[in-house]
Amino acid sequence: MPSPAPVPRPVRRRPPKKVMKTFRLPPDLASYIEAESSRCGLDATAFVTRVLDGYRSDYGLPSAARAVLEEDRHALELERHEYLLHALYQRQLDIRDKGAGFDSPRGMAPLIRDGWRR
């Protein structure tokens, strides 16, 4: 009688390597990080990692959108931080002209016929 086939062992994957860095922060910024991370249900390290990775990766935008924005940033000759400030300022202009939440799906509810609500 043949012996049963050996059961394969699950492959253990190592978590990604992490590097410890230390930064000096003004007390108000450190307090802000602690408060925001708590509000989001994250520890401070996870919160800072999330924010910095979002900044680095254009907050998960599709590559086509990233390419368009990167082309615009270069045409304006702005650094990444300056470009984000520029984009937020432009959004503020739209909000000032059209009202808060103007492009929200909820904002389009008045255009929908009877039977649908906000």
Helices and strands in the chain: count of H runs, count of E runs: 4, 0
Show me where the domains of the chain are located.
27-56, 61-102
| pLDDT by position in tens, the chain (length 118) | 667 777 777 777 777 788 999 999 999 999 999 999 999 999 999 999 999 999 999 999 999 999 999 999 999 999 999 999 999 999 999 999 999 988 988 755 444 444 444 3
Q: How far is CA 107 from CA 21, 113, 116, in A?
A: 44, 14, 13
Q: Select from 93, 94, 114, 112 the least CA-distant residue to 103.
A: 94
Q: How far is CA 90 from CA 27, 32, 51, 85, in A?
A: 31, 26, 22, 9
